[in-house]
Chain A
Amino acid sequence: MTVLLEQESAAHRATPSSIFGTSTIFGWIMVLPALSLFALFILVPFIQTLIYSLYKFGLTSPTKQFVGFSHYIEIVQDDVFWIAFENNIIIAITGIILQIGVGLLLAAILDRGIKRGKSVISAIIFMPIVISTIAIGLLWRLVFDPNTGMIEELFFNMGWSTPMRGWLGDPDIALYAIIFVGFWQYTGFMMIILLAAMQGIPRELYEAAKLDGAGPILSFFNVTLPELRNVLIVCVLITVISAFKVFDLVYVLTSGGPGNSTQVMGSYIVQNAFTIGRMGYANAVSVVLLVIALGLGLVQLHTSRRDK
């Protein structure tokens, strides 16, 4: 993401060579298709979400009744909203620890630890990311299944006990089962980003550390980690932003249940709008999500700008 700002400031410094002269009309014609689709499907709906969060209306009743900020007051008092919000936060924090932590370890091993089999290993670890989350979710439903599941079989063979209501049926466990599947699918993503950054660290730094008597572990802490600071910040932000966007995995694994124990903001918006038919309320929850997402986006801009 910081690449954007780099490019942007580069563009400010050196205005693109005017080999074509100033051709404002030509320029606008070229950006017009992008702008119009973008306006139609992102910008206008964005404004509509803001406005219609103040109205009460349903899927089948198109008449809109102005209710002011009452949806927002309702959100503050809505227990399910707070469960969803808390779950998003838990997913974000565990994602940072598990996906970035393990991704960092895997990247470090691939970068400087081992010599053989690197491309095969990274291809394997990355593979789950290209498969649809729905397919991955169905696969893990089988793995978790209390009757035919492999985890059940594994625990049985080991003599360990498994939750009575199943891994996805127990309100205290289901969220962590979802987090585990997310970890399994997405850790390779962090690994690839961190690996690319590690490969950009000048090898002389490691040589110098070696001359100072630092072993591989010490040079990871003294050379690799400090050099990765900016990329790690970007990774944290990507993880937190995607934690707030999570939907598919929850939908396919638990649909927010049992009870509302695994509800997240994304699934709560969809449930309100398209199952219950409270579209205005769904819009208000969307606005909360939007504020969080844009806030995180600003943090991202701010951190990358400070580094320049």
Chain B
Amino acid sequence: MIRMPFKTLRLMMYVFIGGYCVFILTPLSWMVFTAFKKRSEIFANPSGLPSELYFGNFERVFSSGIGTYFLNSLITSVFSVTGIVAISTLAAYALARIPFKGRMWVYMLIVASYAVPLHAVLVPMFQLLDGFGLLNTLAGLILPYIAFGIPFTVILLYAFFLEFPKDLEEAAKLDGCSQLRTVFSIVLPLSKPALLSAAIFQVVFVWNEFLIALLILTSKGVKTLPLGLTSFQGQYSSDWGAIMAAVLLSALPIVALYLAMQKHFVRSLTGMGK
């Protein structure tokens, strides 16, 4: 086996991982630089720093309606994630704590559905939403997002509720708390970190979802950000300054949320690997 002084090895590891960080950050910084460059400068000097901060790209993007896309994404995310977490919490708690008949069947069904890819139900889902008259509405987006967010969230919260100390609930019961009150005043407040992890994971999913949005939303007023980005691309073709300004604006909120809530987010992801 290779033997080398640990110092040399450690140095090599710093160089490798440092190089990898540069590999990740370089395209991201190009995005930021390009967003602040004039068109002529993008051609003359693609990868350098902008010679002056130019805000014209952002002005163009705002005047073609990124604000609407932004608002649509925000509304969709808030309603979808609230729905996912509320509905999944109820289901996960019942599955983990209430010994009702058929419980295992419900759980197995939810676990199995987690393996069903969205593409495989696309055509009937489109027809269903069409039948409800929900094409080109945000509700037509929010309902499937909730449905597809439920399996993963139930699985995550089910694992959490199984480990939740029973003594607390029993103590509450002895104190005369009703079933519902125990859930709302004891269990839920203590489950905040788990609920937050689940919510953040779904915010990232909903904020970035593209396929359902592509099929359901065709009129401009209801488009969400990822869809809006592709229409900017069609509209501006090679106006990379405007496109990168839009990309930057769409990524900023979610990156900020990620940086603020990194621990919660990583926790929900590592649950998948356990």
Query: A-facing mask of B74-98, CB < 8 A → 1, else 0?
Result: 0000000000000110110111111
Query: A-facing mask of B20-51, CB < 8 A → 1, else 0?
Result: 11011111101100100000001100110000
**Chain A: minimal CB distance from B81 (Å):** 14
- A22 and B24 contact, Cβ closer than 8 Å, known pairs A33-B90, A138-B233: no
- Chief secondary structure at chain A's binding surface: helix
Q: Chain B contacts of A2 at CB under 8 A?
A: 274
- CB of A205 within 8 Å of the partner chain: no
**Chain B: minimal CB distance from A246 (Å):** 10
Inter-subunit contact A269/B122 (CB<8 Å): yes
Inter-subunit contact B90/A31 (CB<8 Å): yes
- CB of B219 within 8 Å of the partner chain: no
- CB of A307 within 8 Å of the partner chain: no
- CB of B173 within 8 Å of the partner chain: yes
**Chain A: minimal CB distance from B66 (Å):** 12
Inter-subunit contact A244/B120 (CB<8 Å): no
Q: Chain B contacts of A293 at CB under 8 A?
A: 115-117, 120
Inter-subunit contact B272/A44 (CB<8 Å): no
**Which one of A7, A48, A52, A184 lies within 8 Å of B23 (CB-CB)?**
A184
Query: B-facing mask of A185-207, CB < 8 A → 1, else 0?
Result: 00011001110110000000000
**Chain B: minimal CB distance from A245 (Å):** 5
- CB of B72 within 8 Å of the partner chain: no
Q: Chain A contacts of B208 at CB under 8 A?
A: 130-134
B100 nearest in chain A by CB position: A27
- CB of B189 within 8 Å of the partner chain: no
- CB of B3 within 8 Å of the partner chain: yes
Query: A-facing mask of B90-123, CB < 8 A → 1, else 0?
Result: 1101111111111110111111111111111111
**Which one of B24, B95, B162 lies within 8 Å of A128 (CB-CB)?**
B24
Inter-subunit contact B120/A274 (CB<8 Å): no
Query: B-facing mask of A206-229, CB < 8 A → 1, else 0?
Result: 000000000111100000000000
- CB of A4 within 8 Å of the partner chain: yes
- Cα of A245 to Cα of B119 in the assembled complex, Å: 8
Q: Chain A contacts of B43 at CB under 8 A?
A: 147-148
**Which one of A16, A41, A238, A294 lies within 8 Å of B97 (CB-CB)?**
A16
- CB of A19 within 8 Å of the partner chain: yes
| Number of B residues, CB within 8 Å of A | 115
Inter-subunit contact A45/B17 (CB<8 Å): no
Q: Chain B contacts of A142 at CB under 8 A?
A: 30-31, 34, 240, 243-244
Q: Chain A contacts of B1 at CB under 8 A?
A: 215, 217-218
Q: Chain A contacts of B230 at CB under 8 A?
A: 134, 138, 252
- Cα of A49 to Cα of B124 in the assembled complex, Å: 6
**Which one of B3, B99, B247 lies within 8 Å of A22 (CB-CB)?**
B99
| Number of A residues, CB within 8 Å of B | 114
- Cα of A78 to Cα of B114 in the assembled complex, Å: 30
**Which one of B6, B88, B179, B211 lies within 8 Å of A34 (CB-CB)?**
B88
The 19 listed contacts between A and B (C-beta, < 8 Å) are A3-B271, A12-B104, A30-B91, A35-B91, A43-B113, A109-B16, A109-B17, A124-B24, A126-B258, A130-B255, A138-B233, A139-B31, A142-B31, A150-B47, A184-B24, A218-B1, A238-B272, A241-B115, A289-B117
Chain B residues engaging chain A, CB cutoff 8 angstroms: 1-3, 6, 9-10, 13-14, 16-17, 20-21, 23-28, 30-31, 34, 42-43, 46-47, 87-88, 90-91, 93-104, 106-128, 143-144, 146-148, 150-151, 154-155, 158-159, 162, 166, 169-170, 173, 179, 204, 207-208, 210-211, 214-215, 225-227, 229-230, 233, 238, 240, 243-244, 247, 250-251, 254-255, 257-259, 262, 265-266, 269-274
Chain A residues engaging chain B, CB cutoff 8 angstroms: 1-4, 6-8, 10-12, 15-20, 22-28, 30-31, 33-35, 37-38, 40-46, 48-49, 52, 102, 105-106, 109-110, 113-114, 121, 123-128, 130-135, 138-143, 145, 147-150, 152-154, 184, 188-189, 192-194, 196-197, 215-218, 231, 234-235, 238, 241, 244-245, 247-248, 251-252, 265-266, 269-270, 273-274, 279, 282-283, 286-287, 289-290, 293-294, 296-297
